[in-house]
Structure 1
Amino acid sequence: MPTFIFDAVNPNGKMIKGKLEAASEANLVNKLSQEGYVILNIQPIQAKKKHMKLRAKLGDLVLFTRQFSTMINAGVRIKDALKLLSRQEAFTKPFRKVLEEILVSIDGGMSLAEAFDEAGIFDPVLVNLMQAGESGGVLDEALLKLSKFYEDSKKIRDEIRSAMAYPVFVSIFAILILMVISLFILPNLFRAFGNVKPTGIVALLINSNDYMVNHWMNVLIFLTIATVGGYYFMRTPYGVAFKSFTLSLFPPIKKLRKLETASSFSKTLATLISSGVSIMDAVKMAANSTSDHALIKNVPQMVDTLRNGGTLKEAMQNTKYFPQLLVEMVGTGEETGRVDEMLNKVADFYDEEVSVKLKQIVSMVEPAMIGVIGIAVGFLTFSLYQTMFSLESGAGQFGK
């Protein structure tokens, strides 16, 4: 059946967008009208250009999966649970809007997993676990596993952000100092010495100051576009890949990222396997969820090994990418029939290693940043004194 995209007003009077399959436009309009929706616009999906959507925020996913699991476990119907959740102010407005679109998709005959997949903001792990939970009649358990998975991911992310707070603050403070010197101190200083032209880094700061004063609107527009564009770009898959590549250029951070990747891969794989997802699909999704290109490139080789009858341990060992501890723990899990349990244990171990390495990196970054800022300020001070002496000398010769 063809797929249509439409704009409509729901029974609560809110504007929504949706995507549904139907035999024809007339059939879709008829069905939605019976549900109380007022159709404003409808067209085949092929007629609309597809845009890349931003991923759902991790905070929304943690709260949603936990509350959705609790409601399903308490016997609340899926549609009723989604309606309640779509009205909660605890979620961001875009996320609530997506839940409303999912309700429309479910009304149109889609399964829960299909509706979440169509929304385009949820990762394959969530979609596949929902599908496994639906087919096995254990949706609440699948959602609970998702909640634990997202909570662990958020915990690691929050630790990293907390550790980087001080270095970021110092960097911003240093930039503000340079801006104050450039915008307020240097202009007053040079006005005292007349129209003598400075040189070197002082000249660069003076020229930057003149440009910002004379073209402040252009600077403001550029900074706004760069900030907003950068924020949204970093939430796209391309932004995640760019950030991963950039961080991998620094050896200490590269090692930290590898530990974080091993932890994320292990937790995701354990969650998928314990929910009944096939091992080959689980490996693909677990690798893609890490956004680590070095690991993702090894996925075809791992899948080929598994397809040819090899074990998961052999598939991981042949890539020469994974830490030996992880490989051996997987082998032990396969021998005992407890692969998911072993993966969770090794993930916990790597989480602790990430915390230790993160503290070590921060302990090195802090004095390094202070040293760099000290050198920059010292060089700037030297340049200022040198320029002042040159100006005084020039002014003295001019007086003679």
Structure 2
Amino acid sequence: MPEYTYTGKTLENKTIKGKIQGNNQKETFEILKGKEIYAYQLKEIETISFKKTRLKAKSLADFSRQLGTMLSAGVPITKSLKILLSHADNPKQKKIFEKLYNTINKGNSLSVAMEDCKGTFPELMINMFKAGEATGSIDKAALKMADYYEKEHKLNTKLKGAMTYPVILMGVTIAVTLMLFTFVVPSFVGLLGEGNIPLITRILLGISNFITSYWYLIIAFVILAIMGIIYILRIPEVKLRVDYLKLKIPVIGKLLAIIYTARFARTLSSLYGSGVNMMEAVKGSSKTIGNHYLVKRFEEVNVKVREGNSLSSSIENILGIEKKLSATIYIGEETGRLDQLLDSMATNYDFEADAATTRLLSLIEPAMIILMTLIVGSILMGVMLPMMTSYNSFL
């Protein structure tokens, strides 16, 4: 039961302060009134130490699915959250559900309780639940969010799985290169003598000497370089330029455009289908794309829509968004079936995004193998070339 601090007046007009327990503020005021204390200030004591924790896609999907299923079955929202709280195994999730339960018990809505969780829930999800509360279909909003985050989780899992091999290959390449420069190349210095050493071998020897003599400077430089790159990429103007250049890369830019379009279409379908007005839906959808350049462009789209232009014409020439999306939205606007077409289009783009992701990752593996071959091959050539020259001179 929540505990409150209160400040009030007695019948003798004496100011009194203290603590009291009650299920909610209204009940607590009545309890104090029964004690002839007329409180004018009542504040709940925070019983849990809540730290900002952003839930991952899998956790968001599970939460939405379980909540939506219980609400569809007619279980009240407070009872649903109490069930989720009692079955939560993760301590962080338990605190989140407890925070939601306590906030709703004060008479607040679920969307307000989610906003009060300090960034735990994405803005998209909060807006969806807010729209569901306004239309009386919060259970449907929850189930839509479950589908949305399940798809996002599957895509994230696929990306992580597909990137495992290239990352391992990159690590092996770096390890082999360092081993060759640190141990193999120096061992040949005494064998080569002062004869006519090929240029590639002299370069390798120079690199090897530098690595073995100044390894600590190299480590410091790498750390500073990584920190510098991270800092630079956080600058809004740089983010904007980098995300724009991504879309201009041959082949890769086209595949990214399909993935970005799929994200936008899926989110727009969910928001608009739940009753969110078009401008808010476009604004919320653009933030899920993952490209700062496109977020900026969609701010311009919202201005055009506010001025009376159609959504289809406003997004027609945006770099990074497939033109097929504009054509489909146009048909929906003309036929009055935009919500149905958005849903169908989102499903189609999800399939295309999955295929585009597979093609994109399939380009990385051969590129890494070629890079490893070139690096290791160049080092071996630099080592073997003078040995072959020396061998031929003895014949």
Query: TM-score, normalising length from structure 1?
Result: 0.70
| Distance change >3 Å, CA 364–CA 207, structure 1 → 2 | same
| Whole-angstrom CA distance in 1 between matches of 2:48 and 2:83 | 27
Q: Letter of the aligned partner of 1:59 in structure 2?
A: K
Match in the other structure for 1:99: 97
| Whole-angstrom CA distance in 2 between matches of 1:211 and 1:101 | 54
1:202–1:383 CA contact under 8 A, matched in 2: no
Q: Letter of the aligned partner of 1:340 in structure 2?
A: D
| Whole-angstrom CA distance in 1 between matches of 2:125 and 2:238 | 21
Q: Letter of the aligned partner of 2:101 in structure 1?
A: L
Residue from 12, 18, 22 that aligns with 1:34:
22
Match in the other structure for 1:361: 360
1:269–1:340 CA contact under 8 A, matched in 2: no
Task: Tell me the secondary structure at the aligned position of residue 251 of structure 1.
Answer: coil
Match in the other structure for 1:115: 113
2:328–2:341 CA contact under 8 A, matched in 1: yes
| Whole-angstrom CA distance in 1 between matches of 2:362 and 2:168 | 15
Q: CA RMSD in A?
A: 4.5
Match in the other structure for 1:299: 298
| Whole-angstrom CA distance in 2 between matches of 1:34 and 1:387 | 87
Q: Letter of the aligned partner of 1:34 in structure 2?
A: G
| Whole-angstrom CA distance in 2 between matches of 1:242 and 1:106 | 43
1:69–1:140 CA contact under 8 A, matched in 2: yes
Gaps of 5+ in 1: 1-9, 12-21, 43-50, 394-400
The correspondence of residues 208-219 of structure 1 with structure 2, limited to 5 A, is 208-209=211-212
| Whole-angstrom CA distance in 1 between matches of 2:176 and 2:20 | 60
Per mean C-alpha deviation after superposition, the further-off stretch among 249-258 and 262-271 is 249-258
| Whole-angstrom CA distance in 2 between matches of 1:215 and 1:311 | 58
| Whole-angstrom CA distance in 2 between matches of 1:25 and 1:181 | 73
Q: Letter of the aligned partner of 2:303 in structure 1?
A: D
| Distance change >3 Å, CA 357–CA 274, structure 1 → 2 | closer
| Distance change >3 Å, CA 314–CA 67, structure 1 → 2 | same
Query: TM-score, normalising length from structure 2?
Result: 0.71
- Rg: which structure is higher? 2
1:65-100 deviation per Cα after TM superposition (whole angstroms, max 9, x unaligned): 111111222333323322333454565x44443333
Match in the other structure for 1:6: none
1:153–1:264 CA contact under 8 A, matched in 2: no
Match in the other structure for 2:315: 316
> How many residue pairs align between the two structures?
351
Task: Tell me the secondary structure at the aligned position of residue 110 of structure 1.
Answer: coil
Match in the other structure for 2:12: none
2:328–2:345 CA contact under 8 A, matched in 1: yes
2:265–2:349 CA contact under 8 A, matched in 1: no
Per mean C-alpha deviation after superposition, the further-off stretch among 254-263 and 175-184 is 175-184
1:54–1:121 CA contact under 8 A, matched in 2: yes
| Whole-angstrom CA distance in 2 between matches of 1:32 and 1:251 | 67
| Matching of residue 200 in structure 1 with residue 203 in structure 2 | yes
The correspondence of residues 38-49 of structure 1 with structure 2, limited to 5 A, is none
Per mean C-alpha deviation after superposition, the further-off stretch among 353-362 and 289-298 is 353-362
| Distance change >3 Å, CA 79–CA 251, structure 1 → 2 | farther
Q: CA deviation at 1:185?
A: 4.6
Q: Letter of the aligned partner of 1:280 in structure 2?
A: M
1:209-237 deviation per Cα after TM superposition (whole angstroms, max 9, x unaligned): 5666x799x88xx69xx89xx8xxx9xx9
The correspondence of residues 273-284 of structure 1 with structure 2, limited to 5 A, is 273-284=272-283
Q: Letter of the aligned partner of 2:252 in structure 1?
A: I
